Amino acid sequence: MDSIVIKGGKRLEGTVKVSGAKNAALPLLASSLLAEGASTFRNVPELADIATMGKLLSSMGCGFERGTGRKSTSITVTVPPAADLEPIAPYELVKTMRASVLVLGPLVARYGKARVSLPGGCAIGARPIDQHLMGLEKLGATISLEHGYVQAKARSRRLTGARINFDVATVTGTENLIMAAALAKGTTVLENAAREPEVEDLARSLNAMGAQIEGAGTDRIEIQGVDSLQPADHDVIPDRIEAGTFLVAAAITGGDVFVEGCVPDHLEVVIEKLREAGALIEARDGGVRVRGPKRLKAVDVKTQPFPGFPTDMQAQLMVAMAVAEGSSVVTENVFENRYMHVQELSRMGANIAVDGKTAIVKGSARLSGAPVMATDLRASASLVLAGLCAEGTTTVQRVYHLDRGYQRIEKKLRALGAEIRRVKA
């Protein structure tokens, strides 16, 4: 397995461009199943998870082609007629990526049935799909679980609109049911819906395909079902978590970095916390400039669904607090097993004590480079950040997690002045 080797202590300076959002691209690619023909998506990052979605769609009979050269961020998905598509998502592909479950809604909506393996992905806690299944049942699907697979079938060949109130806000659940309801007969109302920018981006694309969706970005979304949709032609939004990671990288190294493509409205709480910690952050045309202080100040953080502080930025912010002046309290309210990076940060000298969903972080003047092992996607990013501000050399192992969500992060950081390289297995 590849490793990332970092020699810390370099101040980051310059401009870094944010790639397209993985968590927006995956549901968008799945939404192509709703329309026969060729859908085109631009600004799609080159990531392992995107490749997995491509293999999944190809296994069903779809064409999946990434552009070359200057068009390398463009992907075309060609969906065959319904009779030629195999609505099955096999375990071999789904086990590596939880987002594979996003094909469930489109398949049942357009093809009337689906057989999808129960999902895998990062081991950061229980992420059941009960809300997806509850919603599909209310839309008129029969659901059964057999041999590790979800078997779903529309009772009357076409789903029927319904009022669905999520017990908890779920991003992929909201996305799955928006896609399912887009072709359902009648009106569907989703209450307590996820409000993330990626949900809004999906709704924008679907509306351009001919769907009738209102309220995306709020906790109440209304979908008027239509008979058919046209293929998509859509630009994916920038990745707010990648952008936030670069904001933290600049802040902890006392750097001066322009994060091109960063949308301030997508990271309002993260920016607010970094400002509170002493970073100078200003929105500019086309992105955000961040200047880090000599040393950050401790701030408290509680993760919440959007528009709260994102759980996907918790590990990165914890690194900043590990080298900040003072003590901070980090509370993880979204996933119950998202402190696996703490043990590795402790190997680098971080002073962190975990009690349930709360972590007490006592800032140290510096961290020490050490060999560490990534346990999940965002933990990987936090260890790279820790290496940037540590004395000596840090080797981050098992970076295949990192490659699931960050496009060539070592090259982007090296262009900003970091002493970082990838070592091939």
Mind listing the pLDDT tens digit for each residue in 274-322? 999 999 999 999 999 999 999 999 999 999 999 999 999 999 999 999 9
Q: Report the CATH number at residue 158.
A: 3.65.10.10
Other CB atoms within a 10 A radius of the CB of residue 425 amount to 8
Q: Which of 203, 235, 267 is the last residue of a domain?
A: 235
390 and 371 inside one domain: yes
Closest CA to 97 of 52, 133, 58, 45: 52
Q: Catalytic residue at 122?
A: yes
- Rg of the chain in Å (alpha carbons): 21
Higher pLDDT, 147 or 236: 236
Q: Which of 195, 215, 235 is the last residue of a domain?
A: 235
Q: What is the mean pLDDT of residues 142-153?
A: 91
Structural domains of the chain, count: 2
Question: Annotated catalytic residue: which of 62, 122, 262, 389?
Answer: 122
92 and 121 inside one domain: yes
Residue 45 has pLDDT above 90, yes or no: yes
Q: Which of 179, 201, 235 is the last residue of a domain?
A: 235
Residue 191 has pLDDT above 50, yes or no: yes
280 and 231 inside one domain: no
User: 128: annotated binding-site residue?
Assistant: yes
Which pLDDT does position 122 carry in this prediction? 38
161 and 242 inside one domain: no
Tokens at residue 5, please?
């080797």
Task: Name the E strands within 67-208.
Answer: 75-79, 88-89, 113-117, 141-146, 149-154, 163-165, 187-191
Which pLDDT does position 123 carry in this prediction? 40
User: 334: annotated binding-site residue?
Assistant: yes
Range of the domain at 367: 3-19+238-423
User: 252: annotated binding-site residue?
Assistant: no
Tokens at residue 51, please?
């490749």
User: 129: annotated binding-site residue?
Assistant: yes
For residues 345 and 46, give the distance between their C-alpha atoms in angstroms, rounded to a whole number. Answer: 28
User: 131: annotated binding-site residue?
Assistant: yes
Which pLDDT does position 121 carry in this prediction? 41
Other CB atoms within a 10 A radius of the CB of residue 145 amount to 10
- Residue 425's pLDDT band, with cuts at 50, 70 and 90, is confident
Which pLDDT does position 25 carry in this prediction? 98
69 and 180 inside one domain: yes
